[in-house]
Structure 1
Amino acid sequence: MFFDWKVSYINAAPLGIQQKVIAINGQFPGPILNVTTNWNVVVNVHNDLDEPLLLTWAGVQQRKDSWQDGVSGTNCPIPAGWNWTYDFQVKDQIGSFFYFPSLNFQRAAGGFGGITINNRAIIPIPFGTPDGEITLLISDWYTKGHKELRNIIKDGHDLGFPNGILFNGFGPYRYDSNIVPENIQYLSVFVEPGKTYRVRVSNVGISTSLNFRIQNHNLILVETEGSYTVQQNYTDMDIHVGQSYSFLVTMDHDASSDYYIVASPRFMNSSTEASAIGVAILHYSNSQGPASGPLPVLANELDLSYSMNQAKSIRWNLTSSAARPNPQGSFRYGQIPVTDVNVIVSGPAELIDGNWHATLNGISYFTPSTPLKLAQHFNVPGVYKVDFPSRPMNRPPKVDTSLINATYKGFMEIILLNNGTTVKSFHLDGYAFFVVGMDFGMWTEDSRSSYNKEDAVARCTTQVFPGAWTAIMVSLDNSGIWNLRAENLDLWYLGQEVYLNVVNTEKDNSENPLPDNTIYCGVLSSLQRDQDRRIDFSGSQLNRLKPAALVFVPVTIFCLLLL
């Protein structure tokens, strides 16, 4: 499947104030990447921004191919005015995810879009075929531009309360004229009475946990980030930064009026929250009038325990198949011996050598000019060290490029502790991990007695509540260099990330080779040839940077004519 995307600024006013947003092919948000298990996906990205760009495919597990990951540790940025072609396979995977720009705080300006990976026809889904699908991208939003926001973060200030919450790039429906100004464009979702829809919801925002609910309608949770779940009814769901869920929603109510779809900030001061609630409209085809009255109330608005218990209630569906024709429960993760243990503590931003940084185990990640993966491939010394501490060290914090030395085909336990005051999300590229436990207080060795080793859900993003811990387990069967990061963009930007170095030293190492279209930077810049940005072989893979590739085009055509 081939996609040709131009990433550029457009003017938009999602909250009524004109600002620059990042669009893909003129769309904000970008197009949905709708593919099927095991498809090869080719995305040619033209960078028409005024600064370097990378797109990352959050949750898509490029098997043995971290070259396509689109983060600073694996790829050189696409310079402004250049294009680069991603080429990866969505191997043995299904589910709901999203993509976004990974550099320079750009996600705060947009550039994101949904990813849907469908089952192959021979693998049944564990519920009746929905009558339709709806993708909702919910996000906190600021009227300041992403460049101004990143300067605010660098200066040691908080982002503050968002100016609004968007649904698919649209501002709130005017449910209250005292709160929502006039002339705000809002999202209407059109449905047919009596039909059931699969609603895929992703929190693509930068820092705010959001609660999602639909007035008078139940949400039957069926999938999260590539795992089918035990089907349970929820009236609302907390969706933390970077997380994605699928719900079945049946349109079984009368159509006397439309219904509210709501995404509201969690764990924030309610006196200011009212000005930043996202509201879309669910419109039955036979609706008799507009939605009216108060929004559906969120119980336990500031109750962290309610949210944690909700997260613990999500279970893996052990009997359903996912990407392969065997039950998810046949992978008995609870019986696998743990080979590596990492206890990782995250705290609030702090001053280190006069600059603001965020740390994991006292180390704030320094981004070298040469990506880690390229440095490893070309044996460039001094770019990074594989000495990230497996537990917090009693020493002053520092800025460094330190990787986790992971054991290929090992089984790693990671305990994430949050010493801050806000909910944090953590994401691991290249893998799905099992969320086996979470609780308030300090983690100890005895905490393992509370782990769920039977039906914990497998996903790629998990929340860690303030003053609490979350334990995950992951089978390290995907060689490469993979990013573990805070999805909260302010903390990620300040260095709260680390990479897992998963090296396959076996003779059967089948990790994908260095791509022909690799961009070179840092100490390897001399290997780069110039790009003529006017080259455009739409629909082919020949637009992969190097004009030298043109030399082979006539030869290729001549050979084809001889066949």
Structure 2
Amino acid sequence: MAFKSFFTLFLIHICLFASLSYAEDPSFYHEFEVSYITASPLGVPQQVIAINGKFPGPVINVTTNNNVIVNVRNKLDENLLFTWAGIQQRRSSWQDGVLGTNCPIPPKWNWTYNFQVKDQIGSFFYFPSLNLQRASGGFGGFIINNRAVISIPFTTPDGDITILIGDWYTRNHTALRKTLDAGKGLGIPDGVLINGKGPYQYNTTLVPDGIDYETIDVHPGKTYRLRVHNVGVSTTLNFRIQNHNLLLAESEGSYTVQQNYTSLDIHVGQSYSFLLTTDQNASSDYYIVASARFVNESHWQKVTGVGILRYSNSKGKAAGPLPPPPSDEFDKTFSMNQARSIRWNVSASGARPNPQGSFRYGSINVTDVYVLKNKPPVMINGKRRATLSGNSFVNPATPIRLADQYKLKGVYKLDFPKRPLTGAPRMETSVINGTFRGFIEIILQNNDTKMQSYHVDGYAFFVVGMDYGDWTENSRGTYNKWDGIARSTIQVYPGAWTAILISLDNVGVWNIRAENLDSWYLGQETYIKVVNPEPTNKTELPMPDNALFCGALSKLQKPEDISSEASLTIGQSRVFFTLLMIICTLIPIFH
């Protein structure tokens, strides 16, 4: 009898431990088997990158403060990393998935990502970050929902729909790499995909028969949340749905002032949430369109993505011409004014992108200013390269964060110029030296003839201004110091500038890059290093136990795939805790 009481007491303690483990910050597990498959999204068989045999990959759906564990099995024939665009991995650039912080996952290896989506909500996506791999797929949506105790600033939608749009080539990423390595441009894409599928045959001359297209089924009189992401290579796309308004509600983790748009330009790497009300009479299906912007339309007629919005009471197929894009050929300010109209909903509840208080960004003193200037590609040492402020970034063999951990010297230089270099362009591993808890102003100046968009890992920044011409000190007089949108990817128009402000409260080494894959591949990126001078694990998590080693530290890497053990542990843990919860329900029987 005493043993029975002792055993029951022991089980109660174990069950309390298990319940506490799950009560705070639940964990969500995903297995990613990354491999090549053959698909024909534009009617031509080609090699694409699939996750668990699917293209695009699965949508990750979690809630604020959840822990996300993704075990990646690399079945490609080359190195692999995943990055989580716009998701601020607080205190842990070790999980960022770019070469400046992480060694790549070798072919036939496993590696497990483990990070927390702390103090965040919103619509994001993930993708493979190395060597143009995103041009072959491997991407998917990433949703972070509000906790139940935090209200959303609109009525709960009747459905949640992820839409991935992007320009697409029938050549795979390795062929595109060879083109860039040969000093050539990528040329006009072969089409635009919507959720990995080609265009609906709205025109028999432009679209061949037999192409699989995306259909989104809806019911009349409902409201749906559409999360739209431009996961493409380098083309700005105008997104619109025939006869429907798009009520903008959120962008990359920030609720926006709600405004209706008949169409919106979505630049490479950007994400938006729209509320779509199905208020039409369903006399037929409706076109969903993603078409190229800022291009010579006569050369791009075949490069248009078309899907179908189908009401459950639809009376027939969509027909007739596509809804037209903005008519602004001779008004280069139209798109910029549309971008300026996207403002932050400062009264909305929910996780803030910078919870330490920097949402009052207009009253914070700027501690540092950097002007990052983009020019057309140049020849450096006989190679065609892209630059930022005259520097073309060279990825080090040993990642920057790993080199710091092991106190290696000479891996990189903390000498990224605050103003563009005036001499010859250079190829260097040159990094911005950020000041912990500083407030940095970055001006992105685009002196090229092509649209560019830029992304900052680890942070949401405040978009305070944009205009045509060269930025000057006087340009600050035009800044929005109250409700500029906070986001992680912003466009810079040709011959124009965009100004952003960043509160450097997230310790680590964080990537700043062109989201246009060709510019990124050719060196248009850098990193910002943010160090807390006080040694503490409260501002940065320690190096993970499963960290990979490469470059000068290759000798530290164990020959076996250590991550497969981590993956097994994850699976065992899930079984263990499931069994525990079952046992807990049986305690009254034992007693």
TM-score of the pair, normalised by structure 2 = 0.90
Contact 2:122 2:253 in 1 (8 A): yes
Offset at residue 506 of structure 1 (A): 2.2
- Residue 415 of structure 1: SS of its match in structure 2? strand
Contact 1:317 1:328 in 2 (8 A): no
After superposition, what is the alpha-carbon deviation per residue over 1:319-364, rounded to whole angstroms, capped at 9, x for unaligned? 0012269999983110000001001101111110101111111110
C-alpha distance in structure 2 between counterparts of 1:388 and 1:65, whole Å:
23
After superposition, what is the alpha-carbon deviation per residue over 1:519-540, rounded to whole angstroms, capped at 9, x for unaligned? 1000000100012599567674
Residue type of the partner of 2:516?
N
C-alpha distance in structure 1 between counterparts of 2:276 and 2:504, whole Å:
36
C-alpha distance in structure 2 between counterparts of 1:327 and 1:504, whole Å:
18
Offset at residue 458 of structure 1 (A): 0.1
Residue of structure 1 in register with 2:443 after alignment: 415
| 1:321 equivalent among 349, 353, 367 | 349
Residue of structure 2 in register with 1:530 after alignment: 559
Contact 1:213 1:237 in 2 (8 A): yes
Residue of structure 2 in register with 1:333 after alignment: 361
| 1:399 equivalent among 427, 430, 440 | 427
Residue of structure 1 in register with 2:134 after alignment: 107
C-alpha distance in structure 1 between counterparts of 2:353 and 2:303, whole Å:
44
5 Å-filtered alignment, 1:27-176, equals 27-176=54-203
5 Å-filtered alignment, 1:354-373, equals 354-373=382-401
5 Å-filtered alignment, 1:145-544, equals 145-302=172-329, 303-323=331-351, 331-510=359-538, 511-532=540-561, 535=564, 540-541=569-570
After superposition, what is the alpha-carbon deviation per residue over 1:375-411, rounded to whole angstroms, capped at 9, x for unaligned? 0110001100101000012110010011101110000
Residue of structure 1 in register with 2:585 after alignment: none
Offset at residue 42 of structure 1 (A): 0.3
Q: Which moved more, 1:473-482 or 1:270-279?
A: 270-279
Offset at residue 484 of structure 1 (A): 0.3
C-alpha distance in structure 1 between counterparts of 2:69 and 2:427, whole Å:
36
Taking structure 1 as reference, are residues 543 and 105 closer, same or farther at Cα in structure 2, changes over 3 Å only?
Answer: farther
Taking structure 1 as reference, are residues 329 and 266 closer, same or farther at Cα in structure 2, changes over 3 Å only?
Answer: farther
**Any runs of at least 4 consecutive aligned residues in structure 1 with deviations exceeding 4 A, and if so which?**
324-330, 532-539
C-alpha distance in structure 1 between counterparts of 2:254 and 2:191, whole Å:
31
Offset at residue 301 of structure 1 (A): 4.9
- Residue 250 of structure 2: SS of its match in structure 1? strand
C-alpha distance in structure 2 between counterparts of 1:10 and 1:500, whole Å:
36
Taking structure 1 as reference, are residues 111 and 291 closer, same or farther at Cα in structure 2, changes over 3 Å only?
Answer: same
C-alpha distance in structure 1 between counterparts of 2:315 and 2:185, whole Å:
45
After superposition, what is the alpha-carbon deviation per residue over 1:145-175, rounded to whole angstroms, capped at 9, x for unaligned? 1111011112221111110000000000000
Offset at residue 434 of structure 1 (A): 0.4
C-alpha distance in structure 1 between counterparts of 2:150 and 2:407, whole Å:
43
Equivalenced residue count is: 546
C-alpha distance in structure 2 between counterparts of 1:461 and 1:132, whole Å:
26
Contact 1:346 1:420 in 2 (8 A): yes
C-alpha distance in structure 1 between counterparts of 2:501 and 2:572, whole Å:
40
Contact 2:223 2:275 in 1 (8 A): yes
After superposition, what is the alpha-carbon deviation per residue over 1:89-132, rounded to whole angstroms, capped at 9, x for unaligned? 00000000100000011011000000100000000000000000
Offset at residue 298 of structure 1 (A): 1.1
Residue of structure 2 in register with 1:549 after alignment: none
Larger C-alpha radius of gyration, 1 or 2?
Answer: 2
Residue of structure 1 in register with 2:45 after alignment: 18
Taking structure 1 as reference, are residues 123 and 449 closer, same or farther at Cα in structure 2, changes over 3 Å only?
Answer: same
Residue type of the partner of 1:257?
S
Offset at residue 205 of structure 1 (A): 0.3
C-alpha distance in structure 2 between counterparts of 1:543 and 1:271, whole Å:
58
Contact 1:340 1:411 in 2 (8 A): yes
Taking structure 1 as reference, are residues 91 and 326 closer, same or farther at Cα in structure 2, changes over 3 Å only?
Answer: closer
- Residue 129 of structure 1: SS of its match in structure 2? coil
Residue type of the partner of 1:169?
G
C-alpha distance in structure 2 between counterparts of 1:58 and 1:316, whole Å:
20
Offset at residue 454 of structure 1 (A): 0.3
C-alpha distance in structure 1 between counterparts of 2:196 and 2:118, whole Å:
30
- Residue 97 of structure 2: SS of its match in structure 1? coil
C-alpha distance in structure 2 between counterparts of 1:333 and 1:35, whole Å:
28
Q: Which moved more, 1:344-353 or 1:233-242?
A: 344-353
Q: Which moved more, 1:127-136 or 1:509-518?
A: 509-518
- Residue 275 of structure 1: SS of its match in structure 2? coil
Q: Return 5+ residue gaps in structure 1 as ranges.
A: 545-552, 554-563
C-alpha distance in structure 1 between counterparts of 2:78 and 2:289, whole Å:
35
C-alpha distance in structure 2 between counterparts of 1:142 and 1:536, whole Å:
38
Taking structure 1 as reference, are residues 457 and 535 closer, same or farther at Cα in structure 2, changes over 3 Å only?
Answer: closer
Contact 1:432 1:460 in 2 (8 A): yes
Q: Return 5+ residue gaps in structure 2 as ranges.
A: 1-27, 577-591
- Residue 193 of structure 2: SS of its match in structure 1? strand
Contact 1:267 1:301 in 2 (8 A): no
C-alpha distance in structure 2 between counterparts of 1:451 and 1:325, whole Å:
20
Taking structure 1 as reference, are residues 543 and 394 closer, same or farther at Cα in structure 2, changes over 3 Å only?
Answer: farther
C-alpha distance in structure 1 between counterparts of 2:515 and 2:353, whole Å:
32
